[in-house]
Amino acid sequence: MKSKIIKKELANLLKHLKYYNKLAPFPVYDTDYVKDVEDKINIIMKDKHKDYDDEPVVACKYCKSLHIVSDEIDNNICIRCGSVNELQEFKDINEYLKLKNGFNKES
């Protein structure tokens, strides 16, 4: 929600800056500042469309559950089966889903 408000305000600011720079015979507002505002809007838009499917995934080694919590001494505990620090890391969610679907068919 906060990024939407910031993006809206930056878009209004950019519109204002470009409008008055276009009216004057020379730029009223520094062109580097206008470029910085445009870059900031682009960064916000890029973060909005981040693809989380490419992030690494950690699952329980035994039951393949993603429901893992960390306690105060950094032990990773599987909520489903209770195993401690027995994790398997996958490069992305698609690799995890392939293994889990194959795991479920064998059971």
Question: How many independent structural domains does the chain possess?
Answer: 2
Do 7 and 44 fall into the same domain? yes
> What is the per-residue DSSP string for 34-53?
HHHHHHHHHHHHHHHT--GG
Q: Give tens-digit pLDDT for 67-107.
A: 999 988 989 999 999 899 999 999 988 888 888 887 655 44
Q: Report the predicted TM-score, pTM, of the whole model to 2 decimal places.
A: 0.49
pLDDT of residue 87: 92
Give per-residue pLDDT as tens, 5-57: 888 899 999 999 999 999 989 999 999 999 999 999 988 887 766 667 788 89
**Residue 72 and residue 34 in contact, taking contact as beta carbons nearer than 8 Å:** no
Please tell me whether residues 45 and 57 are part of one structural domain.
Answer: no
Q: Which of 74, 69, 66, 68 is nearest to 92 (CA)?
A: 66
User: CA-to-CA distance for 48 and 2, rounded, in angstroms?
Assistant: 12
Same domain, 90 and 61: yes
Dihedral sign (CA 30, 32, 33, 35): positive
48: its two tokens:
């909005």
Residue finishing a domain among 15, 34, 50 = 50
